[in-house]
Amino acid sequence: MTRVVKFEDVKDRLNELVRKAEAGETTTITRDGKPVASIVPIRTKPKGGTDWEAGYRFMEEHGIDFAVGELPPDWDDPLPEDFLITPLPEDYGKPKSPKK
């Protein structure tokens, strides 16, 4: 959950906002109705959980539905023998001119 606080109110509520960040809540600070800064929790490796679990929690908290699809079954098969000796195209790495 993200809390929104006016810049003028931050000084009086800083202790509360830091406690909320420690509890995992993000606060957006606004000036004249426009976001100017955030107080965010510092994420450390979760106790009793895995990095994957932390990643899924992050995705859920930020409304991310999809990150990486299923890998094909041959994703780790060896590359073809000639993979490293196949020449690159002549224009490889050259900047492309903008389309007019």
Mean pLDDT, consecutive 10-residue stretches, the chain (100 aa), reads 88 93 91 92 66 77 74 85 82 74
pLDDT (0 to 100) of residue 18: 93
CA distances from 62 to 9, 24, 33, 52, 99 (A): 25, 12, 22, 15, 37
pLDDT (0 to 100) of residue 48: 58
pLDDT (0 to 100) of residue 83: 80
